[in-house]
Chain A
Amino acid sequence: MKREIRFSGFGGQGIILMGHILGKAAVLDDKDVTLTKSYGPEARGGACSTDIIVGDSRIHYPQVRKPDVLVSMSQSALDTYLPKLAEDGMLIVDTGLVESDRDHVGLPATKIAEEELGLKMVANIVMLGYFTGKTGFVGKEAMEEAIAELVPEGTEEKNLKAFNIGYEEGKE
């Protein structure tokens, strides 16, 4: 089984970090994983994405072509990447920031981060929790371990709380 996942948003939202956390968690879960990212003269505010392939066996071709899951945290990212989403693929959006005619699920991650955690910055981790609850591609414990390792020192607790809020929403 091989899953292709694309996280997208604008520069500054922590989209690349989402990919690294998922990738690290997949390694902890003993899965094979390949992460690639949009790499160019992008800047804060521009569309950005990170692609992850998670598999039970060796991943060869490293690039995501038709994601099984597209997570969009900005309208421009959705508009850019939606055409590539697999026909039966899952679309997850920040419902406070993104609108789509396509069938989708999601939660207002940025709003939740701001109102429930008082820190807009952890919106990506709220979304990562939702993604984990919804897809189950990688285990919750592995995700929590990866978060604790990769977020800035001193913010672990807040990030894990953000993750769990998102996770519960995703499980529902």
Chain B
Amino acid sequence: MMKAGTHFLDGNTASAEGAIAAGCTFFAGYPITPASEILERIANRFPELHGSYLQMEDELASITAILGASWAGRKAMTATSGPGFSLMMESYGLGLMTETPCVIVNVMRGGPSTGLPTKVAQGDVNQTRWGTHGDVGVVVYVPSSPQEMFDMTIQAFNTAEKYRLPVVVLSDEMVAHMTEKVEIPEKDEIEIVDRKKPRDPPEEFLPFCPDEDLVPPMANAGEGYSVHVTGLTHDEEGHPSVDEETQNMLVTRLIDKIRKNADDILEYDEYKTEDAKKVIVAYGSVYRAAIEAVDMAREKGYKVGLLRPKTIWPFPEERIYDLAREGVDSFLVAEINFGQIVFEVERCTAGAAQTYLAPKMGGSIHTPEDILERIEAIEEGEIPQFKE
């Protein structure tokens, strides 16, 4: 890994270095703006580390390659942006169904379709949650600085290994291309988690039989275990068993694996929420504008705070519910889309507070003034819920 110390890195480079620090030795991808620097960095760094970098024919192949590499025992990653992420949706589901640890970095740009390749947006937030078919439990980290691109890529690998699933690092063009100070710790100060290995001998091993934490130990190919891996509904032996009972057991567990471990996975920051009447909810690059908006609003005498999800999935639902109950009268969600997380926030308030949106169509992030204007408008009672 990179020398410990203070570096000056862009977000994409920091993410690639985070992957290397986490033990990633397999990367398959297809270059796309604004994620290409991740591929470039990995391609430059892997030869000396004896890692495998594969430039694939497309994103469908990229994600299936990392799923295969993971079953071969490697820590594997791919990186893309919206158009590529859309192509990956089918095998994102395959990875979730087969409980395959790996990391997908999605650097968001303006959509839909090929949209605004070189400019920022946050339009893929719900896609990471609902983009693949069927019911799933997912984990998605949302960094807001190059430092967090480094830290959260490591965390994503750890969570992927611990809970056995593809984990998404949902970045955006602003964070990916800004260059800032990045502190790289000494190797022995970085916590690394590896997947649980089978404790039973091969003849007794049930590859999809979970432990108490709902996560089954994983046997890699070539370790002497016979493992059948399929996207079909499968029993604890891993064999297709397409009946209602197995479906109920398997899919419930895949969802509960995340839901019941949410306390361990969920992360969020709060700023000046102690006495807040209004709470801004912002994530990724917009979070950085929102902090300044809080200070500006406070100077004007408004009691404003900030809740910033670091994992957008799982979502800090209980915290929002509690804030709504404890005296917050409204939430303002600032996001670079036309309303995605705002619906999540509204759901979590359970009617105990008003929910408003500060939308933006992409191309740039909100300014602190954009957000402050919304707060003032809400104070004046000018904005109906969810409307411009």
Contact = CB atoms under 8 A, between A and B. Distances in A.
Q: Is the interface of B mostly helix, strand, loop or mixed?
A: mixed
Given A61-B367, A62-B174, A63-B365, A20 B179 contact: yes
Contacts of B364: 63
Interface residues of A, number: 19
A83 interface: no
B181 A27 contact: yes
B288 A62 contact: yes
Interface in B141-189: 173-174, 177-181
B179 A34 contact: yes
Contact of B181 (A32, A39, A62): A32
Given A20-B8, A61-B288, A61-B292, A39 B365 contact: no
A65 B367 CA distance: 9
A62 to B, nearest CB: 5
A40 B365 contact: no
Interface in A19-34: 20, 23-24, 27, 32-34
A35 B180 contact: yes
A148 B179 CA distance: 19
B118 A35 contact: no
B285 interface: yes
Contact of A27 (B8, B119, B368): B8
A60 interface: yes
A33 B292 contact: no
Interface string B1-37: 0000011100000000000000000000000001000
Interface of B: 6-8, 34, 118-119, 173-174, 177-181, 285, 288-289, 291-292, 364-365, 367-368
Given A27-B181, A40-B119, 11 more contacts: A23-B8, A35-B178, A39-B34, A40-B118, A60-B292, A61-B367, A62-B178, A62-B365, A63-B364, A63-B365, A63-B367
